[in-house]
């Protein structure tokens, strides 16, 4: 008999090759698998709701794993896991038993990503590698007008990484929110799924727009061109957070 458990995970992506286990470098997935396997005394594979790139953070990543033994005390299990993982800048926030039909990736309805920009003359030393520092003033109204062009179902080839494995470049963005408080700008993207590097590519183009390097007409033209080579440079990974998954 197998039992399936969902875990919610917070992590700082700095120093990791990303979520996905790879031949070289530390990954979030391999770190968590190692210590769950150690506690349960058998090999465990965990499955995440999606991959985050190297340097990208998570406020609440979702994953699941199967085991042939029922975890009797979930709180003790979390504490034991975090004893090892907290030193790696990973924290298990919650664990819950789920039916076997639940799948962290395939059962997901919406994925929320948030990108954080500090717009001003001075960088933050406390939030170093946790936000994108942009000195040049950004036009928030223009930024918001740009995001409205991206909402809906479109071909997002312009924002697609060359090594993206998705079968189709057609995606639906349900909503984009732009929140500004003092010199901090947060851009929240809500969709069921994304292309590889899509969010960072969109933010990079929105930066060019809000810096007035591009007009709104040029921004829209480049988006609709479906030409990856026309895309602005990617926003750095350290400003991006996987915020939450809904099922």
Using the predicted structure, report yes or no on whether residue 162 has a pLDDT greater than 90: no
> How much is the pLDDT for 24?
86
- Cβ 46 vs Cβ 32: under 8 Å: yes
| Mean pLDDT value across residues 207-217 | 97
Q: What's the rounded Cα separation, in Å, for the pair 65 and 61?
A: 14
Q: Which domains does the chain have, with CATH numbers?
A: 3-98 (3.30.70.580), 110-246 (3.30.70.660)
Two structure tokens written together for 238: 């350290």
Instruction: Give kind and range of the element (H or E) at residue 118.
Output: strand 110-119
Chain mean position to CA 109: 15
At residue 1, the pLDDT reads 86
Q: How confident is the model at residue 21 (pLDDT cuts 50, 70, 90)?
A: confident
Bridge partners, 64 (sequence order): 6, 47
Q: How far apart are the first and last CA of the chain?
A: 25
Query: Which residues have a catalytic role annotated?
Result: 53
Which residue has better confidence, 166 or 131? 131
User: Given pLDDT bands bounded at 50, 70 and 90, which one contains residue 123?
Assistant: very high
pTM of this structure: 0.95
For the record, the structure tokens of 54 come out as 């190297």
State pLDDT tens for residues 216-229: 999 999 999 999 99
What is the predicted pLDDT for the residue at 97?
97
Q: What is the mean pLDDT of residues 50-63?
A: 96
pLDDT tens digits, residue range 60-113?
A: 999 999 999 999 999 999 999 999 999 999 999 999 999 999 999 999 999 999
Check whether 165 has a pLDDT greater than 90.
Answer: no
**What mean pLDDT is predicted for residues 6-18?**
96
């Amino acid at each position: 008999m197998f039992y399936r458990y969902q875990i919610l995970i917070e992590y700082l992506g700095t120093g990791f090759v990303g979520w996905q286990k790879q031949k070289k470098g530390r990954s979030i997935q391999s770190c968590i698998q190692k210590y769950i396997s150690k506690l349960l005394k058998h090999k465990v594979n965990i499955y995440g709701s999606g991959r985050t790139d190297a340097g990208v953070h998570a406020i609440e990543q979702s994953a699941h794993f199967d085991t042939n033994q029922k975890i009797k005390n979930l709180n003790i299990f979390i504490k034991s896991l975090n004893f090892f993982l907290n030193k790696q800048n990973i924290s298990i926030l919650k664990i819950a038993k789920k039916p076997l039909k639940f799948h962290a990736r395939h059962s997901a309805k919406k994925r929320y990503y948030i990108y954080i920009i500090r717009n001003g003359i001075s960088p933050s030393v406390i939030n170093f590698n946790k936000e994108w520092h942009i000195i040049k003033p950004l036009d928030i109204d223009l930024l918001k007008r740009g995001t409205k062009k991206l909402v809906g179902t479109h071909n997002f080839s312009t924002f697609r990484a060359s090594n993206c494995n998705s079968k189709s470049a057609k995606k639906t963005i349900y909503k984009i929110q732009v929140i500004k408080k003092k010199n901090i700008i947060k851009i929240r993207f809500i969709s069921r799924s994304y292309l590889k590097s899509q969010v960072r590519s969109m933010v990079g183009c929105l930066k060019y727009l809000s810096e007035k390097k591009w007009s709104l007409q040029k921004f829209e033209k480049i988006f609709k061109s479906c030409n990856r080579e026309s895309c602005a440079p990617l926003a750095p990974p350290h400003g991006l957070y996987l915020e939450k998954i809904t099922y």
